[in-house]
Structure 1
Amino acid sequence: MCGLIELTQKPAKKVEKTLDLQVPLELGTFRCYKPVQIVLNDGQTNNVIKAMWQFLLENKSREWKASKYTSFNSRWYEGKGFKKSFTKAYRESRCLIPASGFVEGMNKVYHLLKPIDGSPIYFGGLFKQWGDPENPVYSASMITIPPHEKLANIHKKAMPLMIPYDDLTMWLDSDLTNTDAFSDFMRPQLKQDFDAVQIRGWRDLTPVSDKVLIESDLK
């Protein structure tokens, strides 16, 4: 399950231009259960919002914190869809999580994956708004879908949902509540060529191997 992303300057600039964002994106590394920036549409414009990367929050001592039932991923199961706690957000409050690369791993072996052409990744996410509408707090999760066979040696249980470039506006459309429009997105697919490199660990992205090409399904 993807729980670490990074965003570098050139992909960030492409995201800002593509989504017509009025404020610059923050660059750096973002980890689950910490703040992450999401893009959502308010019915008129796309906005960058800081959200806690965990879906469910609860108010503890006047502070919004992670619920014990929280998850940083919202998993979509083939033939079943989402669990009940995610279905309303899937219809009504979808977001994008922009990145230039992401970390996946299993058995304590981690890889950093990036599009080889330096283009951004638009991860599909869900968000919730909490607290006072005048001073809201946001939370978000990244959607995961069934695993792709080309990534089986990196993470075999699931893969993050990546929204195709041509469908970004549709995904962010808060008036579009018929999720049948997204059925094809939930198939495991790679529409970009990726470089994958093994790294030292979850907190150290230093490469320890040569890059390996993972070709898109379009070839």
Structure 2
Amino acid sequence: MPWLAIPFQQTAVRSELAQLYGVRGIPTLLLLDSNGHIITMDARAELADDPLAQNFPWKPRPVNMLTERYLTKLYDYPAVVLFVDGEDTEVQFAESVLTPAAENYYKINNINFSSAQEDFFLGCQDDPCLQFLIGVDGETSDILRDLIGLDDVMPLLIAVDLPNRRFAVMEYGVEITNESVEQFVAKMLKHELSFIDITDDRVEAAKNC
């Protein structure tokens, strides 16, 4: 292989590295910076989400695409999700209107963007922490839409709180801008959104998809 590797026979060295970096199973692909600090423990998932490595070296980002990995995180952390079609211009639009609200939220909560992905939410003062996601046409977005009972309207901004089995939708007809997204997030954090309950059976069904 064209990269450095520890011979399989050196079990003590491999065991020490596994303990040092918390490796619990193989194969594991983790990414380190030049100082040996962990950037991400899940570089396999990062590579699957970003096969062209456009976001390399995969440090935490304020806004992420709604992939299967982030769909799973919704069961632990609520999120603001903007659904758009898959055109590059629409994705860029979604990122441009979500990023200011996300950066402001993380700044207020002292989130460290130089930390590893796995430690990203540990510094959050809110419990639980808030994610900002872009949902494009595809199976992952369809799963979330089916769970909530949303139609295919786009663009569409929602707040989804699966830990508490509820969601809220920005009013239809309101233009999605930096300002309206900021206001939507502020209302969510102040518990001023009109949430709709999600039935437990729909959540369990989505988990099994």
Larger radius of gyration: 2
As a proportion of its length, which structure holds more helix?
Answer: 2
What TM-score do the two structures reach when normalised by structure 2? 0.30
As a proportion of its length, which structure holds more strand?
Answer: 1
